[in-house]
Amino acid sequence: MNGEQQRQHKTVTDALRRNIAELSLALADEVNETTNVLANFETRLNETQAEAAHHISNLTRAISDLDESHTFRMDELGRGVCALETFRGRGFWSRLNWLLTGR
C-alpha cells in the first residue's frame, strides 16, 4: 500500500468508527427508552390489577349483601304468609277484628 491508499483506508476506517459509535449511542438511547416504556407499562398494569381486585372485592361484598337481604325478605314474606294463613278458618268480622286489634 502506498501513502495515498493508506490515507484513503484511514479515512474510511475513521468514518466507520464514527458511524459505529453513533449507532451504538443511538441503540443505547433506544434501549433506555424501551426500558422506561416497559417500566411505565408494568406500573400501570400493577395499578390496574390493584383497581380490578378492589372492584371485585366491592362486587363480591355487594352480592353477599344482596343475598342476605334476599334471605331476610324471604323470611319476612314467609312470616307474612303464615300470618295470613290464620285468616282461612275465620269469617269476615273475625278477620277484620284480627286486623284491627292484632288478636
Residue found by looking up cell 284491627 in the block? 100
How many structural domains is the chain composed of? 1
3-state helix, strand, coil in the chain (%, to 5): 90, 0, 10
- Its domain, for residue 81, covers 3-101
pLDDT per 10-residue tile (average), the chain, 103 residues: 87 93 93 94 94 94 88 81 66 77 73
pLDDT of residue 80: 72
- Which pTM value belongs to this model? 0.49
* Rounded-to-integer distance, Cα 61 and Cα 57, Å: 6
pLDDT of residue 71: 85
Tell me the HSE value of 77 on the side-chain side, using a 13 A CA sphere: 6
